[in-house]
Amino acid sequence: MKYATLGNTGLQVSRLCFGTMTFGDGRGMFKAIGAVGQAAADELVKTSIESGINFFDTADVYTEGESEKILGQSLKNLKIARQHVVIATKVYGRVGPGRNDVGASRGHIMDGVEASLRRLQTDHIDLYQIHGNDSITPVEETLRALDTLVQQGKVRYIGCSNWQAWKIAKALGICEFKNLARLDTLQAYYSIAGRDLEREIVPLLESERVGLLVWSPLAGGLLSGKFSRASQKPADSRRSQFDFPIVDKERTWKILDAMAPIAKAHECSAARVSLAWLLAKPVVTSVIIGAKHPSQLQDNLAAVELTLTQDELRRLDEVSALPPEYPGWMMPFQGADRLEVVDRFKQFR
């Protein structure tokens, strides 16, 4: 296993993080995602620990809190010392019918952290993340609540998930100006089939040294190797029942076509190549992998040992490149003659 610092901190986390969204009894929307019980979860956590993973991610909404409960119990069952693992969880999603049972208000955050601590059977959360964008709560209220938790010792580091670039930038400015605990991470969707993050968010994260934790690196299973242009709805895949996250399918088939000879050359799965492509991106701190079966986990774990050649990375980058959008295409055009006199208009003639 390889390790990286969590954003601009001294905390070391494994480049692969084990995500526990599959833990629980599969109620509601999570029925399509997985129903991993305690015994099977213990085995997956044990395999993760033995492989060198020290980073585990969950959320209070995963199977109505069951994911947190099972993860906490697995660590107890396996007698894993608390200081040897980094536990990340999230707050924001609806956890009850009340008007304040959702969001990033101070009230909901304070209620949410206490509930998560109980379920996880721990006295602190290493990384506490706001799970979504709250369009009602002022961002300063959210940040002050998180700062309080850090000062209390209930939370050690803070992050956000699924936020826009402008809001992350605003939050970082508030944290610095008000001397509040700083956002250390963003958890976001990123895959070779979904590179939208690269337009605005990746440059921001690199500039401000905010860590990137990747969710759904296989695009909800679309890059697992089960899907292809000829097999677009395999019966044994969750994506066939739960078509998420949103992906340009036609573009994805072209990516998978280009990936096939690379996977064959390395004698591995398309999933492993997809993960290795992400791990080669300097902005990525850790990639969150999930599994329902040990074989899935073992295949994903092997991605840290796969090093793609520069030519392979170039081919994958080219076939998955984003279509140009303004102002992205304007900046290199205007900046082309910044260091020397060149004909900026040549390509348009």
CA–CA distance, 241 with 62 (Å, rounded to integer)? 18
Q: Are 55 and 18 in contact (CB under 8 A)?
A: yes
Would you state the structure tokens that stand for residue 103, as one six-digit string? Answer: 């969001």
Number of residues that this document lists for the chain: 349
Q: Which of 3, 62, 189, 190 is catalytic?
A: 62
Taking CA 170 as the corner, what is the angle to CA 103 and CA 101, rounded to the nearest 5 degrees?
5
Instruction: Give the residue ranges of DSSP H helices in the chain.
Output: 38-51, 66-77, 106-120, 139-152, 165-178, 201-208, 249-266, 270-279, 294-301, 310-319, 330-335
CA–CA distance, 11 with 5 (Å, rounded to integer)? 5
Would you state the structure tokens that stand for residue 69, as one six-digit string? Answer: 């409960």
- Is 62 catalytic? The answer is yes
Catalytic residues: 62
